[in-house]
Amino acid sequence: DIQMTQSPSTLSASVGDRVTITCRASQRISSYLAWYQQKPGKAPKLLIYQASSLESGVPSRFSGYGSGTEFTLTISSLQPDDFAIYYCQHYDPYLWMFGQGTKVEIK
């Protein structure tokens, strides 16, 4: 089974910082890699799909990159609304795998 591992588990940052979250797969995967943001008590929100495509309505400070086994989510200038937990998710036909999540907290 493919395992998705995110790093770091927790990231402390300040408003305006550039932050990068990494998602590593245990074996080479397709680019069916998505990123979600989740705030406390809320449903996940799709940010990025197919590794680098920005979901409609998502601010352009969010970007995704990667292929093979390593994928990244970058927030170019962290805003107060961005403090949340971020999950990567891979799709292998008819199976879905999430990373364990990265909490972005205020430094």
Indicate whether 54 belongs to the interface with other proteins (CB under 8 A): no
Task: Please tell me whether residue 64 binds other proteins under the rule CB under 8 A.
Answer: no
Return the exposure string of 16-26: e unless at least 16 CB atoms fall within 10 Å of the residue's CB, then b.
eeebebbbbbe
Q: Is 86 a residue that touches other proteins (CB under 8 A)?
A: no
If binding is defined by CB under 8 A, does position 101 make contact with other proteins? yes
Cβ at position 27, least distance to other proteins in Å: 17
Taking the least distance from each CB to other proteins, the nearer of 44 and 74 is 44
SS3 (DSSP) at 99: coil
Cα 49 to Cα 77: distance, rounded to the nearest angstrom: 20
Burial of 13 (0-12, 13-18, 19+ CB in 10 A): middle
Pick 32 or 83: Cβ nearer other proteins:
32
**72 lies in the binding site for other proteins (CB under 8 A):** no
Is 45 an interacting residue with respect to other proteins (CB under 8 A)? yes
- Continuous segment of H or E residues that includes residue 32: none
How many angstroms separate the CA atoms of 66 and 31, rounded? 8
List residues binding other proteins (CB under 8 A). 32, 34, 36, 38, 42-46, 49-50, 55, 87, 89-91, 94-101
